[in-house]
Every structure is written in C-alpha cells, then in structure tokens.
Amino acid sequence: MNLLPSPEQEQILATIRDFLNAEAPVDRLRKHGAIGNPDASLWPALGDLGFFGLALEEESGGIGLSSAEEMLVYREFGRHLLSISVFGLTLGARIAARSGNSQLASEMLSGKVSVGIANPRGSVAIGRETSGDFHLFEAASTPWILVISSEGAGLFPAEEFSGRHVVDATDAALGLERASLTATKTRLWVDAAEDPISRRALLLLAAYATGIGEGARDMAVEYAKVREQFGKPIGSFQAIKHICAQMAIRSEAALCQTSFASLIFAEGNTDSDFHITASKIVSTDTALKNSADNIQVHGAFGFTAEANAHHFLKRSHVADLLWGNPKQPQRRVIEIAPPA
C-alpha cells in the first residue's frame, strides 16, 4: 500500500495550501483578538472550492472522492488551526444528504450555513432521542448543531438546546457554551449502520491533530534556525536538535497511521475501526507533545501571547477532548478485535 499522495492528490494539497497560506495564517488568531476568530468568513470560499464535500457522492452534491483526500485536506486545516466548525459543515452536509434534505446539504456544502459542535459533558444519551449536558463549540450564531456517537450522528436546530450560557474557553479563539437537551428527538439522524459518520469524524479529527503536530514542529524548526545564543543559531545545539528530531518522528508516525487508516476506511475494510481509533490516539498525543516542545524551543518567549506557540497547545487539548474524553479511544482500541 502506497502512503504517498498521488499527483492528483498533490494538486488538491497545493490548492488548499495556497488558499490557507494566503487567507488563514496562524497570525490571524493573535491579530483578531483574545476572543473568537474570523474563520466563518472563509466558509463560502472553501465551499466554492468543494472542500466540504470532497468525499460525498456527486449525486448528493459532493465531489465524489474518498476519505483519503478528505484526510489530506483536514491535515492542512489542522496546520492552520482552522475553526473546528469545519467538522460541522463536512459531517453536517453528509447527515443532511443521507436524511434526504438536499437543500440543507447544498447550503452546508457551499458554506452558506454554519454548524456548531456539541461535545458531551458527562453522561449523555445520543440517538434518535438525545438528552444530557453538552459543551457547544462555535455555536453562537449557527442554526444547526452537530451531535455524534458510536450509534450514529445527527443535527439539532440550535434553539432546541436549553440553558445556554457562554463560558470561558482555554482556547479563546473558539466560542464555547454550556447547554442541555431533555429527551429531545433528533431532527436529522443517520444510524451508524447506514453511514459510519462517527468513524469518519474520528478519522478527520486524527488528520486535524496530525496537522497541529506538524505545524508546531515546523514553527519550532523555523525558530531554531533564526534565534541565536552565543553567536550561533540555537538549532546547532544538541539539546534543541534532539527536541526537533523527536517532533519530526512523532509527526511521521501520526501521518503514517492516519494515512493508512484513511485508505482502509475508503476501501470499506473491517479493520478500519481499529486503525482509525489508533490514529486518534497517536495523532492527539503527537499534537500535545509537539505543541509543548514548540513552547520549550521558543524558551521564555514561547509563554507569551506575542508568540503563536500557545495556540497550537490549546487547540491540541480541544482535539484531545472532542467527541469523548482521552480515555475512551484507549478503552475502545482494547475492546476492538485485533486487525487481521
């Protein structure tokens, strides 16, 4: 199995990299202010380029490619710390299409309608009827909110969440609220047997976390080239070399695991559950460790708001907690039958 991108995939990567380098440099998070982000303004342009429906069938309004191409794009989203509401658009459009609401799917694919993310807070019941307490990410002005569990995935109108109130987020670039649902019927619901959207969500999250780890690695390496101590770049010192080498090794492992998982998921391989869960574990661990090492390479400057290093670490913690606490995938990978 070839894990390297094909020429066609390289063209997709070149397009999304050019767009994000121009429109979404990580500096935007520092320049925009302490709270919130401007990323929603990018959704129509990304929708026009087709990035929200890469792996959705053409008859449903998508491009008709596979989860491999989708994974590569989400890796770039992670590198640029794009708002996690991109997950809501990609997955929400799939739910709408599977539920027969082609108009809503089209609006999400075009980026005209944004989607918030509901993450369980404690014990919840998610299914055709959903109840419990949730954290809502990027949901302040969205008409729809995404819920996901191993049983399936669904969309709720935002007004059906009660007791909504804003809370401070560690990652202040993301809007965060707390809210509840009381035995509410999920408006649009897709069972996992019909479409394993929860598995796709974990795969895209692993790709996103892989990108975070790579972005932190690249930032550390670039700083080590220009920052001087004792008349030499700090990258020439063995201690810094070792840190950067470890970051590179972690990133390579995360990318290989996530790339492999995306390919066998695209094939419909029965082992994809194991490998996707493993990719979530490896990639979020890489993101957390690389982000912390990036701060260490930057020294005292790395702890300041003037450096972008803290954005990588904060977003890594969000990725680690999204759609379940960090222990859940570890338990899951033990429970799954070993791959053939």
What domains sit in the chain, N to C, each tagged with a CATH number?
A: 197-335 (1.20.140.10)
- 66, pLDDT greater than 80: yes
C-alpha–C-alpha distance, residues 45 and 51, integer Å: 9
Q: How confident is the model at residue 166 (pLDDT cuts 50, 70, 90)?
A: very high
C-alpha–C-alpha distance, residues 144 and 152, integer Å: 17
CB atoms within 10 A of CB 247: 26
Q: Which two tokens stand for residue 158?
A: 């935002």
- 34, pLDDT greater than 60: no
pLDDT recorded at residue 333: 84
Q: What is the pTM of this model?
A: 0.95
Averaged confidence pLDDT in the chain: 93
Collect contacts of 23-26 with beta carbons under 8 A, ≥24 apart. Answer: 24/80, 24/82, 25/80, 26/80, 26/81, 26/215, 26/219, 26/308, 26/311, 26/312
pLDDT recorded at residue 329: 84
Instruction: Yes or no: say if 306 and 30 are a contact pair by the CB < 8 Å rule.
Output: yes
Mean pLDDT of 15-19: 96
Residue 278's SS3 state is helix
* CB neighbour list of residue 140: distance below 8 Å, 6 or more residues apart: 116, 166, 175, 177
Instruction: Yes or no: say if 173 and 81 are a contact pair by the CB < 8 Å rule.
Output: yes
Pick 4 or 84 by higher pLDDT.
84
Q: Which two tokens stand for residue 216?
A: 């932190």
C-alpha–C-alpha distance, residues 76 and 90, integer Å: 15
Q: Which of 154, 73, 136, 143 is nearest to 115 (CA)?
A: 143
- 338, pLDDT greater than 80: no
